[in-house]
Amino acid sequence: MRTAVHGMPRIGKGRALKWALEGFWAGRLDAEALETEASAIRRRNWQILAEAGVDLIPSNDFSLYDHVLDAALMVGAVPARFRSGDELLELDRYFALARGGDMDGRPVAPLELTKWFDTNYHHLVTVLDSLVDTYAEVLTEVARQGAVWVRLDEPVLVEDRTDDELAALRRAYRRLSEQPGRPSIVVSTYFGHVGSAMTVLADLPVEGVGLDFCRGQENLALLSEVDGLDKKVLFAGVVDGRNVWANDLDASLDLLERLTSLCDEVVVSTSCSLLHVPLGLGTEGEIDDEVRPWLAFAEEKLGELAVLSKGATEGRAAVAAAIQTNRAVLEARNRSPRVRDAKVRRAMASTAVDPQRSPTFEERVEPQRTRLGLPLLPTTTIGSFPQTAGLRAARAAWRAGRSGDDEYRGRLRFEIDRVVALQEELGLDVILHGEPERDDMVRYFAAQLTRFVLPQDGWVQSYGSRCVRPPVLFGDMTRPAPMTLEWTRYAQSRTTKPVKGMLTGPVTMLRWSFVRDDQPEADTATQLGLAIRDELIDLQSAGTAVIQVDDPALREGLPLRRRDHPGYLAWATRSFRLVVSAADAATQVHTHMCYAQLGDIVEALDDLDVDVVSLEAARSDMGLIGDIQNAPYRGGVGPGVYDVHAPSVPEVADIEGLLRQALAALGPDRLWVNPDCGLKTRRYDEVTPALDHMVAAARSVRASLDADGVAQEPPIGASSRQV
């Protein structure tokens, strides 16, 4: 039985790609040096795969920024605004599409950024023309270069598809199958089951079909109900490419036995690309000794493929030692007293079935206006401020023991003083402490909660050069002590303006961690909600008047099938309300969401029971505002007025234009002014003028409302005395 892998992590050892990209963008590396580094990463991945005995080694799984963008460029699907600038190097044009840039001396906005299905990987949204003939040419070319198989990824088939869409799929692959001299084709799906598309896949004139049996367990029953797939090669995704837990080898071998009875040939495969997990455990020195054997990163998953292939081909006796070790690991994890906590279980059982804030939204408006005293169109930011080289060096020295707690805490206070003073100078209305103590919005909290381990080299690409290190949650967790109180309270002591407390919500903690697979995600979300609720209570007791509970991953977690949406939204919004239901009437609760198709969950915003929601809207040109306008949600709205991931500084006029679009739809009583995301990855020489322009635009629009003499209610949280 042969083995296959959808793709490998492409950031390289030690995040080599990140440093090369950022060096190129900063002018420290030229194009040749960037390609040299990229080539080295590709070569190392191929060597790892070859040494692991993988039979079908993937190529074209690497990208300098995003594989969707690469595919669009391959077929020439480039928006018109990027087709000029003939003097540009193709690499500069490529990064202009990804990050924005100059074309013929004029600035152009990058492509819209959104989530790749239900993952935390971000891809660029492209404009596509007729593609089938172009793909036919590509097939001929790669066959000429020696490719025996070509995998065409069609994960859209795990979503709801119309009859017309499935008919178009049939026509497309009929045309591709007729291409002279083409290689064998496998149509690969992942992230779920294919539903009614299974009969279509069985009929396609292709040689192979790839199915995910990790997140699409229903595929087994669907496969047994159709004719035609038995004559195709089945690429069976039995090694999970999305999570980090060791494979249950017994269960996987049982599944492979069943699949070989249904298909003539089975290839043992990962369920999807391994870009969603860290590269390997070999360099990890910080993972708990008990937990470490429970885990499998990309390189360990290649070993699992090899064992499964040998066991399925030669019989279980040939891999008896590996199976016995695996059984012992799974049993140790199941029996560990650290996995389940009776106190946590009792707290879960005692929570309200439907937690709600006791004062209604209407009852909260006036107490918040009176307490905060904000003007129309109040300005704020999302949370984080730039993490300077000096701050990162101070954190590294503290973690390495080269500096003490007092020295490090002094540095954090210095950074907070700087950020608060800057915001006051710029004239922002609601102040942030800037989060200098946090290297990551999830990892920071995970480090202070129980039952998490934090891989030190467990980097995963989010997009481009942006990498994250997801923590691993292995058991029932609790919050032993306050996590944010000290720094929020210190920032408030440095200003008379309201300082916003910043918390990460339970669904984002869940989605942006590698979470346990031994209980429903709803239970894990409830446990996280209880811990974050305790933090909100402490902030509120200390006098924090505005608290933001960020849950940008709430939309990301929306199931790929519409019939599963209501069940997910019920437990996801419940876990969020479990946190905010502890807030008093005069405590203004915000949340933030970004970089996803938020229109799909706009109806659920009201279920969050918050007072203000801020949203990514700059790249989509305020496209979400119409959905918000027609939704039942009644609170304040802060549509992002500039894209923080683009290196250019927005012009005042451009921000004004976006504000007036939002103003026409929402009115001044609901509108807040903020960037579309946090500022951590930007530099101060970008952030300072951008925020200055944002405040200037808000003041200009605010003044025009006064000049027009239009009588308006103040915004949620504003005081009529200051309008």
Strands 113-115, 122-124: pairing kind: antiparallel
At 7, is the secondary structure helix, strand, or coil?
coil
C-beta of residue 233 within 8 angstroms of C-beta of residue 204: no
The 8 Å CB, 24+ separation contacts for 72-75 are 72/124, 72/126, 72/127, 72/128, 73/97, 74/138, 75/128, 75/129, 75/131, 75/134, 75/135, 75/138
Identify which of 283, 285, 296, 286 has the alpha carbon closest to the alpha carbon of residue 325: 296
Measure the CA–CA gap between 655 and 698, rounded to whole angstroms: 8
C-beta of residue 166 within 8 angstroms of C-beta of residue 197: yes
Lowest mean pLDDT among 5-14, 33-42, 695-704, 709-718: 709-718
- Two structure tokens written together for 665: 């739809």
At 119, is the secondary structure helix, strand, or coil?
coil
- Two structure tokens written together for 214: 């990790």
- Two structure tokens written together for 39: 């080539």
Across the range 65-74, mean pLDDT stands at 91
SS (H, E, C) 554-571: HHHCCCCCHHHHHHHHHH
| Burial category of 606 from C-beta neighbours within 10 Å (exposed 0-12, middle 13-18, buried 19 and up) | middle
H-helix or E-strand containing 614?
strand 612-615
Could you report the per-residue pLDDT of 515-567, keeping only the tens digit for each? 999 999 999 999 999 999 999 999 999 999 999 999 989 988 999 999 999 99
Could you report the per-residue pLDDT of 606-633, keeping only the tens digit for each? 999 999 999 887 767 787 888 888 888 9
- Two structure tokens written together for 437: 């103590």
Q: Is the pLDDT of residue 722 over 60?
A: no
Give the residue extent of every domain in the chain: 343-347+365-722
Residue with more model confidence, 91 or 294: 294
| Distances, alpha carbon 286 to alpha carbons 13, 45, 452, in Å | 17, 24, 12
Measure the CA–CA gap between 654 and 672, rounded to whole angstroms: 16
At 313, is the secondary structure helix, strand, or coil?
helix
pLDDT value of position 131: 84
Identify which of 168, 174, 163 has the alpha carbon closest to the alpha carbon of residue 196: 163
Work out the angle at residue 507's Cα, subtended by the Cα atoms of residues 505 and 508, and round it to the nearest 5 degrees: 70
At 683, is the secondary structure helix, strand, or coil?
coil
SS (H, E, C) 214-233: CCCCCHHHHHHCCCCHHHCE
Exactly one of 193, 276, 645, 693 is catalytic; name it.
645
Identify which of 672, 371, 668 has the alpha carbon closest to the alpha carbon of residue 497: 371
pLDDT value of position 719: 39
Across the range 463-492, mean pLDDT stands at 96
Domain 343-347+365-722 has CATH 3.20.20.210: yes
Q: How confident is the model at residue 707 (pLDDT cuts 50, 70, 90)?
A: low
Strand partners, 184: 149
Could you report the per-residue pLDDT of 297-310, keeping only the tens digit for each? 999 999 999 999 99
C-beta of residue 420 within 8 angstroms of C-beta of residue 433: yes
Which residue is it, tokens 């292939």? 309
SS (H, E, C) 492-560: HCCCCCCEEEEEECHHHHHHCCECCCCCCHHHHHHHHHHHHHHHHHHHHHCCCCEEEEECCHHHHCCCC
H-helix or E-strand containing 612?
strand 612-615
Measure the CA–CA gap between 630 and 445, rounded to whole angstroms: 35
Tell me the percentage of the chain whose pLDDT exceeds 70.
Answer: 95
Q: Quick check: is 433 catalytic? A: no
pLDDT value of position 86: 59
Could you report the per-residue pLDDT of 424-440, keeping only the tens digit for each? 999 999 999 999 999 99
On the CB side of 586, how many CA atoms lie within 13 Å of its CA? Answer: 11
Could you report the per-residue pLDDT of 77-101, keeping only the tens digit for each? 888 888 775 555 688 889 989 998 8
On the CB side of 619, how many CA atoms lie within 13 Å of its CA? Answer: 24
- Helix 163-177 to helix 132-144 angle, to the nearest 10 degrees? 40
Q: How confident is the model at residue 602 (pLDDT cuts 50, 70, 90)?
A: confident
| Burial category of 142 from C-beta neighbours within 10 Å (exposed 0-12, middle 13-18, buried 19 and up) | middle
| Burial category of 404 from C-beta neighbours within 10 Å (exposed 0-12, middle 13-18, buried 19 and up) | exposed
Q: How confident is the model at residue 709 (pLDDT cuts 50, 70, 90)?
A: very low
Cα 588 from chain centroid (whole Å): 26
Identify which of 566, 633, 575 has the alpha carbon closest to the alpha carbon of residue 602: 633
* Entry pTM: 0.90
C-beta of residue 429 within 8 angstroms of C-beta of residue 380: yes
Q: Where are the beta strands (DSSP E) in 104-260?
A: 106-108, 113-115, 122-124, 149-153, 184-188, 208-212, 233-239
Strand partners, 153: 188
C-beta of residue 662 within 8 angstroms of C-beta of residue 625: yes
Which residue is it, tokens 């990058």? 110
Could you report the per-residue pLDDT of 196-229, keeping only the tens digit for each? 999 999 999 999 999 999 999 999 999 999 988 8
SS (H, E, C) 644-667: CCCCCCCCHHHHHHHHHHHHHHHC
Residue 315's CB: how many other CB atoms inside 10 A?
A: 11
Work out the angle at residue 321's Cα, subtended by the Cα atoms of residues 317 and 325, and round it to the nearest 5 degrees: 135
H-helix or E-strand containing 637?
strand 636-639
Across the range 287-292, mean pLDDT stands at 94
State in Å, rounded, how far the first CA of the chain is from the last one: 72
- Helix 405-426 to helix 684-708 angle, to the nearest 10 degrees? 30
Q: Mean pLDDT of all residues in the chain?
A: 92
Could you report the per-residue pLDDT of 119-158, keeping only the tens digit for each? 888 888 777 557 898 999 999 999 999 999 999 999 999 9
